[in-house]
Structure 1
């Protein structure tokens, strides 16, 4: 009888250790995936900020050039402004298929991506 109690106690301890280890593994995988997604988003954000700043400066140059060609500087800014207003309407109309779905799919792929560890 004592042997059965010892075997049962050992089995319960192993089951508890397995549960704790599984939970710890789940936590570590979640942390790894979260860190991977966040670091990827931050690096892309840094690139995006640089591109946006360059784009703004180029657009100011275009606005000044168009304004000079038309005789009044503010004409160039109005033309560039109207262009971006139309672009914003187009992006709003197609936001799901051009932005939301591809971004969601990218994040999901990043979360489901398996890491290849070399030993």
Structure 2
């Protein structure tokens, strides 16, 4: 009888160790996926920032050029502001399809992609 109690105690201990190990494994996998998504998003933010700076400089050049063509510098700025207003309205209209869904799909793909080791 005492042997059965010892075996049951050992079995309970092994199950407890398995549960703790499984929980730790899930925590580590979640941290791994979280860091993958975070690092990927950070690299994209850096790239987007560089592209935004490029477009800022192109925009300033376009403003000054159009201002020269139109006769007054501020006319160029008004013209480019109008272009940005139209682009902004289009982005607001199609935000869900172009931005929200794309970002959600990207994050889900990052979470469920397999690592190449």
What range is the shorter-chain TM-score in? over 0.9
Distance 1:30 1:48 in 2: 27
Structure 1 residue aligned with 2:88: 88
TM superposition shift of 1:54: 1.1
Structure 1 residue runs without a partner (length 5+): none
**Given the alignment of the two structures, is residue 28 of structure 1 paired with residue 28 of structure 2, yes or no?**
yes
| Number of aligned residues | 117
TM superposition shift of 1:115: 1.5
Q: Which runs of 4+ in 1 moved over 4 A?
A: none
Structure 2 residue runs without a partner (length 5+): none
Larger RCO of the pair (alpha carbons < 8 Å, separation 6+): 2
Distance 1:98 1:56 in 2: 22
Secondary structure at 1:116's aligned position in 2?
A: coil
Structure 2 residue aligned with 1:112: 112
Q: What's the TM-score once normalised by structure 2's chain length?
A: 0.98
TM superposition shift of 1:116: 2.8
Structure 2 residue aligned with 1:47: 47
